[in-house]
Amino acid sequence: MPGGMLLLTMALLPVAAALSWGLCRLMLRLAPRWALLDAPGSAAHKPAGVAVPNVGGVALFGAVALPVAAALAAAGAAPAEAWARWAPAAAVHLPGLRATLGEAGVLLGGLAGLHALGLVDDRRALGPLPKLAAMAAVAVALVTLGGTRAMTLLDDAVPGGFGWALSAGLTALWVVAIVNAMNFLDNMDGLAAGVGAVASGVFAVLAIGSGQWFVAALCFLLLGGLLGFLWFNRPPARLYLGDGGSLVLGGLLAVVSVRLTYAGPGPGGVAPPHAVFVPLVVLAVPLYDLASVSVIRLRAGVSPMTGDRNHFSHRLMRLGLPPAAAVGVVWLATLATGLGGLLLPRVSPAGAAVVVAQCAAVLLTLAVLEAASLRGARAVEVDAPPAGG
């Protein structure tokens, strides 16, 4: 009964949005009392100004974790007859849900670990290496214990167990990269949450298309949680996501992008080989920001984990865009690549090449504009008359 499951999973969106909105209101009341504030100008990428609560991640985590925990508890405790009576569409999938309770528990534990890591970092600024090591530990747990592994075809393609190791290593690297990418992207009001909302919406559509209802449920919970939070994070933000939220956002996007099969619905659905590029296309903009700002920092002789104002959004502002417009451009660029990701599993190899080329063209256009602006700024500096002359 696909129609029933579609309605059931989509109903999670307003549930998560309401939970997130309510928890955001609670955090706004508690944060000043408990000094849970982002110190203005405390890092190079944070503008000076009024201290803003940075515990919006509590709302995002709660909006996802509470419904998931409730569903897992019901799956384990409620008899099948109760499911058939109150949620007949989901009752058909109850055996599969019960079979994956352990993996779902690992996912919840991994998200809780990322959430706790972010909350601690928001309070006392952990160093880059401890933070990266903790992210890697969560990624390894998700891969080895949580059944989250990409490119499993390598298991048979590479003999001697090396295929499994290569697949596991690439997946762990992907999780760490996306967690960091969304953490890096959380540098302007509404930016990371908006990009995450676009990406989670795209992944939700892909999950529905492949009949993966539990992955779709995660996507709708994430989308709802982000929409509820965005009400308070839109410029000028009254609440920040904080690392406690951006790490959870990145972790969830990484997991759903790996768990998706990108195949057609039904047991006969098979994903084409080029579907492996779907996560790269959908998340191209966060990855572009991660890669470009890391290169800029390395060329400046500083650690890629050092905060500054050289992110993609900041560079758009140096082109002359106001902050809200810069955020809008990043959202639209994410939507442009995300729409290509929707098409990628359904087209021929030639069509896939066009989609990937379109994604590359979007990023290349932005890079060319940035480079031209930088050259223009340098030319103005050279041609400017000396002071007093």
Q: Identify each DSSP E strand in the chain by its residue range.
A: 37-38, 52-53
- Residue 153: DSSP 8-state: T
Alpha-helix runs per DSSP H in 234-348: 243-259, 278-282, 284-299, 312-318, 323-343
Report the alpha-carbon distance of residue 337 to residue 281 in Å, rounded.
6
Q: What DSSP string runs through 351-384?
A: HHHHHHHHHHHHHHHHHHHHHHHHHHHHHHHHHS
Report the alpha-carbon distance of residue 92 to residue 217 in Å, rounded.
16
Q: For residue 165, how far is the Cα from the chain centroid?
A: 25
* SS3 label, residue 217: helix
Paired tokens of 116: 């706790």
According to the annotation, is 189 in a ligand binding site? no
Residue with tokens 């534990």: 109
Asked if 66 contacts 19 with a C-beta cutoff of 8 angstroms, the reply is yes
Q: For residue 213, how far is the Cα from the chain centroid?
A: 19
One-letter identity of residue 94: L
Helix or strand (DSSP H, E) at 8? helix 2-34
According to the annotation, is 187 in a ligand binding site? no
Annotated binding residues for Mg(2+), written as ranges, equal 183, 243
Annotated binding residues, written as ranges, equal 183, 243
